[in-house]
Amino acid sequence: MNFDFDWSSLLSSALTISGRILLLIILFLIIKPIGKKLITGLMNQVASKQKLSEGRKKTLSNLLLNVYSYVLIFLFVAMLLPIFNIPIAPLLAGAGIIGLAIGFGAQGLVSDIVTGFFILIEKQIDVDDYVTAGGENGIVEELGLRTTQIRSFDGTLNYIPNRYIQNVNNHTRGNMRALVDFGIAYEENIDHVTQVIQKVCDEMSENPLIKEGPDVVGVQSLDDSQVTLRVIAQTEKNEQFGIERELRKRIKEALDENNIEIPYPHQVNVPKS
Amino acid sequence: MNFDFDWSSLLSSALTISGRILLLIILFLIIKPIGKKLITGLMNQVASKQKLSEGRKKTLSNLLLNVYSYVLIFLFVAMLLPIFNIPIAPLLAGAGIIGLAIGFGAQGLVSDIVTGFFILIEKQIDVDDYVTAGGENGIVEELGLRTTQIRSFDGTLNYIPNRYIQNVNNHTRGNMRALVDFGIAYEENIDHVTQVIQKVCDEMSENPLIKEGPDVVGVQSLDDSQVTLRVIAQTEKNEQFGIERELRKRIKEALDENNIEIPYPHQVNVPKS
Amino acid sequence: MNFDFDWSSLLSSALTISGRILLLIILFLIIKPIGKKLITGLMNQVASKQKLSEGRKKTLSNLLLNVYSYVLIFLFVAMLLPIFNIPIAPLLAGAGIIGLAIGFGAQGLVSDIVTGFFILIEKQIDVDDYVTAGGENGIVEELGLRTTQIRSFDGTLNYIPNRYIQNVNNHTRGNMRALVDFGIAYEENIDHVTQVIQKVCDEMSENPLIKEGPDVVGVQSLDDSQVTLRVIAQTEKNEQFGIERELRKRIKEALDENNIEIPYPHQVNVPKS
Amino acid sequence: MNFDFDWSSLLSSALTISGRILLLIILFLIIKPIGKKLITGLMNQVASKQKLSEGRKKTLSNLLLNVYSYVLIFLFVAMLLPIFNIPIAPLLAGAGIIGLAIGFGAQGLVSDIVTGFFILIEKQIDVDDYVTAGGENGIVEELGLRTTQIRSFDGTLNYIPNRYIQNVNNHTRGNMRALVDFGIAYEENIDHVTQVIQKVCDEMSENPLIKEGPDVVGVQSLDDSQVTLRVIAQTEKNEQFGIERELRKRIKEALDENNIEIPYPHQVNVPKS
Amino acid sequence: MNFDFDWSSLLSSALTISGRILLLIILFLIIKPIGKKLITGLMNQVASKQKLSEGRKKTLSNLLLNVYSYVLIFLFVAMLLPIFNIPIAPLLAGAGIIGLAIGFGAQGLVSDIVTGFFILIEKQIDVDDYVTAGGENGIVEELGLRTTQIRSFDGTLNYIPNRYIQNVNNHTRGNMRALVDFGIAYEENIDHVTQVIQKVCDEMSENPLIKEGPDVVGVQSLDDSQVTLRVIAQTEKNEQFGIERELRKRIKEALDENNIEIPYPHQVNVPKS
Amino acid sequence: MNFDFDWSSLLSSALTISGRILLLIILFLIIKPIGKKLITGLMNQVASKQKLSEGRKKTLSNLLLNVYSYVLIFLFVAMLLPIFNIPIAPLLAGAGIIGLAIGFGAQGLVSDIVTGFFILIEKQIDVDDYVTAGGENGIVEELGLRTTQIRSFDGTLNYIPNRYIQNVNNHTRGNMRALVDFGIAYEENIDHVTQVIQKVCDEMSENPLIKEGPDVVGVQSLDDSQVTLRVIAQTEKNEQFGIERELRKRIKEALDENNIEIPYPHQVNVPKS
Amino acid sequence: MNFDFDWSSLLSSALTISGRILLLIILFLIIKPIGKKLITGLMNQVASKQKLSEGRKKTLSNLLLNVYSYVLIFLFVAMLLPIFNIPIAPLLAGAGIIGLAIGFGAQGLVSDIVTGFFILIEKQIDVDDYVTAGGENGIVEELGLRTTQIRSFDGTLNYIPNRYIQNVNNHTRGNMRALVDFGIAYEENIDHVTQVIQKVCDEMSENPLIKEGPDVVGVQSLDDSQVTLRVIAQTEKNEQFGIERELRKRIKEALDENNIEIPYPHQVNVPKS
């Protein structure tokens, strides 16, 4: 390739070896401090937020800075050598092996962030929601791109990397159902019991936490020793447990008052003939 | 390569270094604002639909814009350097590692969309269908390319990324079956009981919600303490639970009226000889 | 490379830059409308078959057309730039990342089709067969390259992406077995009971739905409270459940008639010495 | 590159553009009909073997022929363009994405064939063997490179893609064991019972289907309510179930004759003091 | 390419073969001892910390040094050969196979470190926290980038590679809940029992380890033989188990004092009619 | 590139097109029969060892020979085309897709061989060992690089592809433990029972199959209805089952002789007050 | 490229074809015997250590040597061909397919070694430790880079490829806990029982194998038929089982002496009214 000599001197020298080396050095002199500042800044921010001890902060940011330096040196050498016509394919192949391991090992991190991004943007979860996600059940304390923190009702704080969140079950998006099953003896009259319990339900229905019902929906099953009836109500969110406890107490007392038997397990004893 | 000089001046200069740099700069000046607008527009649309707070919206769109800028800068530098004959293979290898992680981490998102596309186009699910999908059971509230929202009967709203939907069980595509099993004592005459219950069934069959039956289909099993009979009916969709409850109540009352024993668990007591 | 000038003018200009650009533009002008027509046609066909609403059809085909346009534009730019000697390796690397995600995310679709193809060509399933596949159990309603639809006996319509179908259990490829186990008391004479029940079996064997047997095959187990005998018959396909119910009823009645005890669970009560 | 002009005219023209295009066209004209014939032939063969309906056969072979045409066209265009110096790297990258999906999606098919090949060549399974493989249990009806068909004892025909076959349990490679456990009361004398049952065993041992034993091997466990003894025999393959039933019957009758108690579950009743 | 001869002699010779070989040798002479020192130093550090025996230390560092040497030799040869125009693509392909295996096999290590890094920087776990992570439950003894050590309460020391840690359940991030369920007979008056137990709770509430409650929250369930009531308190972290034991003892004693029956399992005995 | 004409004529012509084509043809003429012979030989060897029928042998070796031919033809064409300057990148890409599927599908085979190699070289298993591996339990009949054959005690022959062997539990590498647990009534004196059973153990210890013990090690658990004591012995390999049966019998008889009660399950019956 | 002729004759000839071929042959003549020696040496070492039979040793080392030869031949041919300007891309692609399978199939081996390396260097396991790892429980007999051997308490020797070791539970890193739960009747006075058992504990605490306790920690649960108390002690490692047996015996005897009832399961019998 013969290029005309009337080009600007800058471009011309850029094609000489010395010019290319110079350009490369300048490039790395620009990039190095930028990256260093970025890492230190990020670490300081995280450290102050998480109240990391000075020691751990130093260890972790040194780790990052070391890795950063090694990567830069490798890149510089690998970009310099071909200028001297020294082949770097074997070098790249070697780096590729490490890269493969890193790429696979780090995919979890990307997965966390992608999942986290969509949880945030689709507003699947808000702080203070009562949710079941990633196998944990409780109140959301913090939402992050990488990790979601859920406080279980027993006080445990659960850190869930977002990639382990598959379905999100949000229990605070609308009214919740209170459901109470109770058994009566096979000897009882179903219609009579339904009337008695429906009266209890009607009294309960004035509770402002209850949005709909409660109602006796019917015979849920014919069990071994009892006929099981079901009562259902719609309550304000997070109030379903309290309403269920109240319902259970009132149903039990109403059955007692009306001498309706709540049966124990039964067994017919057959004498050996 | 010697090209003739009678070509148009535009193409000629396009092959000079300065021309190529110019072209590259123009290309990026065109692309940058287009991408920015696209991202901001998309975020605004999502934010207003999901009613995201102004703060979160800003955080998320800044995140996207930052990533976009870094990618553009990297592409620009990586396309500029080889024009100056500076090798970029190491740079590409480095980016490839990050890319591998991203590609693997983001495959879930593609999987969501591919699955979502086919759920929509094959009309497997419609809003307000009662379905079981991705381990959740309830009424479909919203269908999206990435996420499906199902409202459980207990009021929970479930967000299911479409890739976790394997089989779709749609319970609102045709009539449903109501099925009631009930036990009678080994001492009872099966034919007699069948007649009694079939009469109950025949009365029930006038219910317009019932499309077929109900019918006593026969002896389902010879259990430890009882002979189990089965009644089956075809009902309007979503009415099967109510019909089953009604059937259970009527069967129980018919058996009582006819003095047919519904047996408790039996045990033969053998005295130790 | 110096090529002789006696070549045809067409080929000569094909090697000039302007000629190559022209050829590229022509290529894309040919491909674009073909692809567009194909997509619109396919969507129309699917939409009319699935009775998709006009709105959803438009949304989905716009989605496909948009993706198609972006891909074409990217290909055009990426094939144009190297003609101007602008390196596109970084561009390809970037596209490769997205491609990796797409390739991985879309493999499920290919898997569906490959599996579907072999299910069809090996005739493992036919419409109206009673099968168990992909965890669902019922009658096949529709067979597709991507999805198989099975109607459960409870009326649910199950959409199974073919890749989730591992083993296919086809219950309508030949006669089926009816199997009834029943228990007799340890005090009974096994030979006598066998005679009694074999007589029941022999009467049943005239049923044209029964292809072979039924026969008492012997003592299946010595259980806690009973000796379990087994009766087996070969029936027409899909008739096994009816035959089993009939057999159970007849066996129970024959045992009653002959005063053969079907034992309840036994327990020896040892008084505390 | 300057090549001498004394080469043969054929080779010389092969290097000209027009010659290369010609060669390419000839190549594709040769390949196209060969592939088409191969596909149609294969489909005809399969169709007649599986008795596919004419309609389905046409659909499936059209599908294959279409895919084949598109692949050929793509290959032709992609091999033609670089002859005109038009870069095809972006095209290949695009095809690579689809290829990745296909490669991953189709690996199951290869897995099937590799596994099938070794099942055949190691003769792990023969037609009419009684085996457990891939979660199915029954008699092998057909062995293929891709699929194995096993007929369950209940009449179901199971199609198992070979890749789902992990361990093969072949129950027809040698004698099988008949094993009967039976319980006696804690009050019985073990030596006496052993003698009684061993006598039964000795009588049974004349059965030509029994290759070895049966023998009482001793006290298998001291259970809650009984001492469990074990009897073992070696039988002809596929005869173990019949022998076990026979053994169970004879042991039960021998114990009855000798007034040896087979105990029911025991419970000590402690009166509340 | 014709370069002018007025360049500096250094760069000029760098392009000659001998110059490139020389440069390559110098590069490896610099790198070799650095890597060796790094490995030996790291091994010494680890060995003294873990108190490895001299023998094992030598074995392991020899292993590392050997691998290091082989890699260097391979890189040197593979970078030298192309200078002599000997193609190394087959060599690289061969190395790529080994590299693929290494990359996949080593991804676990990267996964450990990435996960470990985020556990540390997000402070999910601290030494002496009581946590459940990676299937182990106990007190954290040591936190590392690769491994976390948890001491179970039975004294076992568990080494968990960080990649096996999915959710972290930290039981020492705030107050914990003490929860005691107890049953009362169906005959008891719920209000009376609640008063009695609430009095016990009020006495307990003066315990400084209890932050809130304890309180009787109501009827948790209507069980087979008992009505189950629930008491809940908030305690200092790690004190929940002691408080629960204390509560159980006091509740039991209070019920005894007030002659409130804690029921045994009930069974209704029906005489065979 | 201008090469001097004083080179040997052989090498000179090797660089001409005709020379390269000739060389390629020679190469393939050498390789083809070698590969064919190798395949036929291998198949003959396997077929005679496994006693494959002539038909199946022919089918399988034809399959292999066909695949071999197609691969050779493809390689020949793909290596010939670039000599004529026809680009083959699209061809290679196409083959790469099939290759990806093959590579993934065949990895199981490599996995089998690698695992098999180490099982053989580490001598984890020997023919006639009693082992548990890959979910099967029995006597090893044959060890192969690809498959291990284990004969279950019920006579089944299990073929286990080596990759499914994870842990190998070898029960014939040293003495085995015989362990018998037995229960005594809560009323018995533990020291007295221990003496009685230890005497039984001491008599047993003279059995040459017992290497150590048996000994009463103490109170293993305080169960619902009994105090459980444990006896342990070390026996010759494969003799543990016989020794355990013998121990059980002797312990039962010793307890009987000494009137030590082996308790049935107990239950305290509380009359409903 | 025109190179000056004043270079050393060695380098000049290195660039001629004959020189490159010569160099390649020399390279392979050096490498071949080195690799052969290495393989034979390694095999001899392993064979003598594992006491492999001469036959198996020969088979396995022949296998390795064969593979080695084929690889060398392939590499030689593939590096020779491009010197003659014959393209080898198709050859490499073919080898790549096999390589992919090998790379995936062999990753388990690398995984074993990486995991093994860290188990050794972090000293997670020592020979003679009592550990639970990879699903096996017992005493470590041998630690290797690829396999860990654990001797179960029943005498089985377990070979665990290191990659199957996830968490390591080391039961010999510090004192272990002895834990005994025992039940008392609801009628008993908890304080009185605690005093009685604490006295037993105090006597036990003089045992030098006990490092701390034993102590009665309180009421562990209010069970169906009993109040469960818990006793905990810290013992020397590996002594916990003996101490627990001793504690159980002493507690049982102390309760007997003090006439404290250890309750059987209770049941309230309700007569059918």
User: Is the confidence at residue D144, as pLDDT, over 90?
Assistant: no
Indicate the DSSP class of residue A186: T
Which residues lie closer than 8 Å to D18 by C-beta, 6 or more apart? C7, C8, C11
Residue C15: predicted pLDDT? 56
Q: What's CA G75's distance to the chain center, in Å?
A: 37
- Both structure tokens of E61: 């560092």
pLDDT at A3: 41
Residue B206 backbone phi and psi in degrees, to 5: -80, -10
Is the pLDDT score of C243 beyond 90? yes
Substitution target from F123, F176, F243 for chain G, most G beta carbons within 10 A: F123
Residue B166 scores a pLDDT above 50 = yes
Q: What confidence score (pLDDT) does residue A251 get?
A: 93
pLDDT in tens, F131-158: 999 999 999 999 888 999 999 999 999 9
Residues of D in contact with C117 (CB under 8 A): 60, 63
Which of F50, F89, F264 has the CB atom closest to D121's CB atom? F50
A168-204 pLDDT tens trace: 999 999 899 999 999 999 989 999 999 999 999 999 9
Residue A2 falls inside a structural domain? no
Residues D33 and D47 in one domain: yes
Q: Is the pLDDT of residue E110 over 90?
A: no
Q: Which residues of E touch A90 (CB under 8 A)?
A: 74-75, 78-79, 88, 91-92, 95
> Is residue D6 packed enough to be buried (19+ CB in 10 Å), middle (13-18) or exposed (0-12)?
exposed
Question: Across chain A, what does the average pLDDT equal?
Answer: 85
Burial of B145 (0-12, 13-18, 19+ CB in 10 A): middle
CA distance F109 to chain C (A): 21
**Would you state the structure tokens that stand for residue F173, as one six-digit string?**
């590498």
CATH number at residue D143: 2.30.30.60
Determine, yes or no, domain membership for G246.
yes
CB G110 within 8 A of CB G146: no
Mean pLDDT for chain B overall: 85
B8: contact with C, CB 8 A cutoff: yes
Find, among G193, G185, G222, the residue nearest to F270 by Cα. G185
**Farthest CA pair distance, chain C:** 122
Tally of helices (H runs) and strands (E runs) in chain G: 6, 9
Query: Is C262 inside any structural domain?
Result: no
Q: What are phi and psi of C33, to 5 degrees?
A: -65, -30
Q: Nearest-CA distance from E78 to chain G in Å?
A: 12
Of C199 and A103, more confident: C199
Please compute the mean of the pLDDT values over residues C20-40 and round it to a whole number.
Answer: 86
Q: How far is CA D100 from CA F87, G91, G93, in A?
A: 22, 21, 15
Q: With both helix axes pointing from N to C terminus, report the angle between E240-257 and E190-204 in degrees, rounded to the nearest 10.
A: 130
* CA distances for F119 relative to E39, F116, G64, G133, G166, angstroms: 32, 5, 15, 19, 21
Give the mean pLDDT of chain C: 85
Residue G267 falls inside a structural domain: no
> Which residues does chain D have within 8 Å of residue F89's beta carbon, measured at their own beta carbons?
78, 82, 88, 92
Rounded Cα–Cα distance for residues A200 and A254 (Å): 7
In this structure, are G134 and G192 located in the same domain? no
**Interval C77-129: pLDDT, tens:** 888 887 777 777 777 777 777 777 787 778 888 889 889 988 888 889 989 99
Please check whether residues F95 and F145 belong to one and the same domain.
no
* CB contacts, 8 Å: C96 with chain B: 96, 99, 103
Residue for token pair 């001409």: F16
In one letter, which amino acid is D203? Answer: E
Mutate to test the interface with A, among B2, B12, B85, B160 (most CBs of A within 10 A): B85
Tell me the residue length of chain B: 273
State phi, psi for E185 to the nearest 5 degrees. -65, 155
Q: What is the pLDDT of residue G71?
A: 83
* Chain G CB contacts of F240 below 8 Å: 154-155
Mode of pairing for the β-strands spanning C266-271 and B266-271:
parallel
The single residue listed with the structure tokens 């307000």 is: B128
Of D96 and F127, the one with more pLDDT = F127
Q: Is residue E4 a part of any domain in this protein?
A: no
Spatial separation of the C-alpha atoms in residues B150 and B135, rounded to whole Å: 10
Same domain for E113 and E155, yes or no, is: no
**Comparing E76 with B95, which gets the higher pLDDT?**
E76
Tell me the residues of chain F between 231 and 270 that have a Cβ less than 8 Å away from chain C: 264, 266
Residue B47: what pLDDT? 78
The ipTM value here is 0.83
pLDDT of residue D167: 93
In a domain, D11, yes or no: no
Which of A113, A124, A266 faces B264 most closely, judged by CB atoms? A266
Q: Which residue has the tokens 């009259």?
A: A189
Please state, in angstroms and rounded to a whole number, the distance separating the CA atoms of residues B249 and B242: 11
Summarize pLDDT for D6-52 with one digit per residue, the tens. Answer: 444 444 444 567 777 888 888 888 888 988 998 888 888 877 777 77
Please tell me the distance from the alpha carbon of residue F37 to that of residue C164, in angstroms, as a whole number.
42
Range(s) of the domain holding residue E154: 130-170
E145's tokens: 């980038």
Using one digit for the tens of pLDDT, what is the confidence trace for F102-141? 877 788 888 898 899 888 888 899 899 999 999 999 999 9
Give the per-residue pLDDT at C210: 92
Residue A15 has a pLDDT of 57
For the cut 70, the answer to whether the pLDDT of residue E9 exceeds it is no
Q: What is the pLDDT of residue C81?
A: 80
- A contact chains, 3+ CB pairs < 8 A: B, E
Query: Are B22 and B56 in a shared domain?
Result: yes
Counting Cα atoms < 13 Å in the Cβ hemisphere of E86 gives: 28
Q: Find out whether E105 and G110 touch, Cβ atoms under 8 Å.
A: yes
Average pLDDT of span D173-189: 92
The pLDDT value given to residue E83? 77
pLDDT of residue C9: 46
Token duo for residue C79: 């094939």
CB D195 within 8 A of CB C215: no
- Residues G139, G102 share a domain: no
**Residue D146 phi/psi, 5° resolution?**
-100, -35
pLDDT given for residue D110 in this prediction: 85
| CA pair distance D239, F82, nearest whole angstrom | 66
Nearest to G42 by CA among E69, E66, E96, E57: E66
pLDDT digits (tens, 9 = 90+) for E227-247: 999 999 999 988 999 999 999
> For the whole model, what pTM was predicted?
0.87
Reported confidence tier of residue B219, pLDDT bands at 50, 70, 90:
very high
Q: What is the pLDDT of residues C158-189, one digit of tens each?
A: 999 999 999 999 999 989 999 999 999 998 99
Per DSSP, the residues of chain C read: ----TTS-HHHHHHHSHHHHHHHHHHHHHHHHHHHHHHHHHHHHHHHHHHT--HHHHHHHHHHHHHHHHHHHHHHHHHHHGGGGT---HHHHHHHHHHHHHHHHHHHHHHHHHHHHHHHHHTT---TT-EEEETTEEEEEEEE-SSEEEEEETTS-EEEEEGGG--SEEETTSS-EEEEEEEEE-TTS-HHHHHHHHHHHHHHHTTSTTEEEEEEEEEEEEE-SS-EEEEEEEEE-TT-HHHHHHHHHHHHHHHHHHTT---PPPEEEEEEP-
Q: What is the per-residue pLDDT for E5?
A: 40
> What is the percentage of chain F residues whose pLDDT exceeds 90?
42
3-class SS string, A81-135: HHHHCCCCHHHHHHHHHHHHHHHHHHHHHHHHHHHHHHHHHCCCCCCCCEEEECC
Q: Are strands A157-161 and B147-152 parallel, antiparallel or unpaired?
A: unpaired
**F31 and F63 inside one domain:** yes
From chain D residues 149-188, the ones with a CB under 8 A of any chain C CB are: 151-161, 164, 182-183
Quote the minimal CA–CA distance from G105 to chain E in Å: 8
List the 78-97 stretch of D: residues with Cβ below 8 A of C: 84-91, 93-94, 96-97
Give the per-residue pLDDT at G15.
57
Nearest by Cα to F212 from F191, F238, F240, F183: F240
Do G21 and G108 share a structural domain? yes
CA–CA separation, D227 and D174 (whole Å): 32
Least confident of D216-225, F87-96, G155-164: F87-96
Q: pLDDT value at position G10?
A: 45
What's A253's domain CATH number? 3.30.70.100
Q: Does C1 touch chain F if contact means CB atoms closer than 8 Å? A: no
Question: What is the distance in angstroms between the Cα of D96 and the nearest Cα belonging to chain G?
Answer: 15
User: CATH number of the domain that D104 lies in?
Assistant: 1.10.287.1260
Test B1 with A1 for CB contact under 8 angstroms: yes
Tokens 């990618």 -> residue? B71
Residues A66 and A95 in one domain: yes
Using a CB-CB distance cutoff of 8 angstroms, which residues of chain D are in contact with residue C97? none
- The verdict on C183 and C245 lying in the same domain is yes
pLDDT at D162: 93
Per-residue pLDDT band for F15 (boundaries 50, 70, 90) equals: low
Q: What pLDDT score does E4 carry?
A: 43
Residue B3 reports pLDDT greater than 50: no
- Residues from chain F that touch G136, judged by Cβ atoms under 8 A, are 167, 169
Which chains does F contact via 3+ CB–CB distances below 8 A?
C, D, G
Nearest Cβ partner for B220 among C17, C18, C245: C245
Residue range C187-197: mean pLDDT, rounded = 92
CB B144 within 8 A of CB C138: no
By mean pLDDT, which of A158-172, A223-237, D75-89, G252-266 is the weakest? Answer: D75-89
**Residue % of chain A over a pLDDT of 90:** 43
How far from C155 is each of B168, B174, F241, CA to CA, in Å?
13, 7, 53
CB A237 within 8 A of CB A176: yes
**Better-predicted residue by pLDDT, C253 or E95:** C253
- Report how far apart the first and last C-alpha atoms of chain F are (Å, whole number): 113
Contact F110/G100, CB-based, under 8 Å?
no
pLDDT at E158 exceeding the cut of 80: yes
Residue B66 within any structural domain of the chain: yes
**Chain B contact present for A16, CB below 8 A:** no
Query: Is B157's CB within 8 Å of A174's CB?
Result: yes
- Shared domain for G134 and G199, answered yes or no, is no
User: Which parts of chain G register pLDDT below 50?
Assistant: 1-14
Could you give the number of structural domains in chain A? 3
Q: Is the CB of D218 inside 8 Å of chain F's CB atoms?
A: yes
Chain G residues closer than 8 Å to D270 by CB: 264
More confident site: E248 or D71: E248
Same domain, yes or no: D205 and D231: yes
Among C63, A143, E208, residue whose Cα is nearest residue B144: C63
Whole-Å CA distances, E20 to B190, D262, E11, E13, E100: 100, 93, 11, 8, 30
pLDDT for C3: 41
Establish, for the pair of chains C and D, how many residue pairs have beta carbons separated by less than 8 Å.
211
CA C101 to chain centre: 26
Decide which of B76, B94, B117 is a domain's last residue: B117
Decide if G264 and D272 are in contact by the 8 Å CB cutoff.
no
**Cis omega before residue G214 (within 30°)?**
yes
Asked whether F139 and F150 are in contact (CB, 8 A), the reply is yes
Question: How many degrees, rounded to 5, is the angle at CA B268 between CA B267 and CA B273?
Answer: 140
SS3 call for E119: helix
> Residue E166: what pLDDT?
92
Task: Give the number of beta-carbon pairs within 8 Å between E and G.
Answer: 209
| Alpha-carbon distance values, D40 to C116, D32, F74, G245 (Å) | 19, 12, 22, 77
Partner G, chain E 197-216, Cβ-Cβ below 8 Å: none
Assigned domain for B269 exists: no
